[in-house]
Amino acid sequence: MNKIKLILLLFSFCLISCEKESSIQEDIIGKWYMPQTLNRITLGRSINDLAEHSLNAWNYSMMVTTNSNQSLIDRMSDPEGSVSITGTVNDEIKFMQGWYDPYSKESSVYITNYKWNMFEPNDGPVISVNMNNYSGQDEWGWSDYLNIFFNDGNYIEIEQEIDYSFDGRTLNIPNQTLIDTTGTNLTLGGILTYSTIDIPANTPTEIFSYDEDDSWDYGNWTIDIQENGRWVEIYTWEEPYDSSGWTHTYTDSTVAEWRLEDDTIFVTYSYDDVWVNSNDGPGVGQGTWLYEIAYTYDMQGDDLTLVNEFKMCEDEEYCLEWFEYDYGLGQGSLEELKMVWTLVFSKVPPLRSKEFKRPLNNVAKRFPPYNLLK
């Protein structure tokens, strides 16, 4: 009799468990919507870039943990100080991207007066300066230069060695005169220093986040989770062109497979490796590559939240060391660097959010890497 009771009890538990998983799976199945925000990864990307990759490629944050208090270089924030340019053009250069090798002391630095990641129109000309002190720059054809592009299509180009120093954090350009082939003189000089992020010891800290401005519409994602195991990601972006209501719509999709195991949704992407022969067209590569992402999930009402984490330097001998000097951290201080995906979807389709401001198109077209519709 006791054995019968035990069997019935186990059977009832199995039924409850199966019904629960079946119910969860039924709740997950359907279409879910998420606006694509402007963030540190989508900054400067084209619509084609976004659509040609899966949604997880554009929606992760970076988390670092150090074993002591550190000051991390923040390349996403505006540097402190400025570099002045005077002569034919008078302006202040305030934006910088630089690379520095602490062992060889070699570096390369790019500075500009154009805040590329905001797509805002400049009142005046766009100025860009590139400099490096690589030991093999003559052999490889690398050179220092200053370029100025005016709104009317005219430009100034100066290729001349620029005296500077850069230690990975601070750029110092002593006052100097640059001369182009027509005899135009420009004076350049000033100091720029990267902003930093304070990293408390033993505290996972998000870095390079960009959530201050939500006024840009980067389109929307839809995931269609189907009962047959298909997972379809659809990216859509729209732009109205004029008052007549004519609208440009761009859409692309990625198809994957999904399965549910306990509290985790596994999504498997399949990519065909194809090499291209210039004479014969596409050929056969190394076969099909499978890429699987494990999302823990949480459902609250009409919202579905997917979370995934990936430790970047696991089992990589020199990985942490490389990021230490790239981020300006003390040697041996970086304990962990990981990517975290937190994707929040809703059953309710979003209203079309703020459209791109018209000046964006006029400015972006002058810079092909940042052209949204290339």
Q: Is residue 308 part of a domain?
A: yes
d(CA 177, CA 81): 20
Query: Digits of tens for pLDDT over the chain (374 positions)?
Result: 555 544 444 444 444 444 445 576 788 999 999 887 767 677 667 777 777 777 777 788 889 999 999 999 988 788 999 999 999 899 999 999 998 888 888 999 999 998 765 555 667 899 999 999 987 666 566 789 999 999 888 889 999 999 999 999 999 999 999 998 888 889 999 999 999 999 999 999 998 766 555 555 678 889 999 999 999 999 888 766 656 666 677 788 889 999 999 889 999 988 776 555 555 554 445 567 788 999 999 999 899 999 999 898 988 888 999 899 889 999 999 999 998 988 999 998 876 544 443 333 433 333 333 333 33
Decide which of 140, 165, 193 is a domain's last residue. 193
Are 361 and 241 found together in one domain?
yes
Are 212 and 336 found together in one domain?
yes
Q: Is residue 18 part of a domain?
A: no
pLDDT attached to residue 247: 67
pLDDT attached to residue 16: 43
**Number of domains observed in the structure of the chain:** 2
Are 291 and 240 found together in one domain?
yes
Are 46 and 183 found together in one domain?
no
Which domain range does residue 184 map to?
80-193
Are 157 and 298 found together in one domain?
no
Are 43 and 104 found together in one domain?
no
pLDDT attached to residue 360: 39
Are 217 and 326 found together in one domain?
yes
pLDDT attached to residue 27: 86
Are 256 and 325 found together in one domain?
yes
Decide which of 161, 176, 193 is a domain's last residue. 193
Q: CA dihedral defined by 15, 19, 20, 24, rounded to 10 degrees? A: 160
Q: Is residue 272 part of a domain?
A: yes
pLDDT attached to residue 43: 66
Are 212 and 254 found together in one domain?
yes
Q: Is residue 14 part of a domain?
A: no
Task: Tally DSSP H helices, then E strands, for the chain.
Answer: 5, 24
Q: What is the secondary structure of 55-112 as a DSSP string?
A: GGGS-EEEEEEESS-EEEEETTSPPEEEEEEEESS-EEE-EEEEEE-TTT--EEEEEE
pLDDT attached to residue 32: 93
Q: Could you tell me which of 107, 147, 74 has the C-alpha nearest to residue 328?
A: 74
Model pTM?
0.69
Are 357 and 255 found together in one domain?
yes
Q: Is residue 12 part of a domain?
A: no
Measured CA to CA in angstroms, residue 110 lies from 32, 35, 361 at distances of 41, 33, 24
Q: Is residue 75 part of a domain?
A: no
Q: Is residue 235 part of a domain?
A: yes
pLDDT attached to residue 364: 36
Q: Is residue 3 part of a domain?
A: no
Are 89 and 141 found together in one domain?
yes
Are 333 and 209 found together in one domain?
yes
Cβ atoms of 145 and 130 closer than 8 Å? yes
Decide which of 139, 170, 193 is a domain's last residue. 193
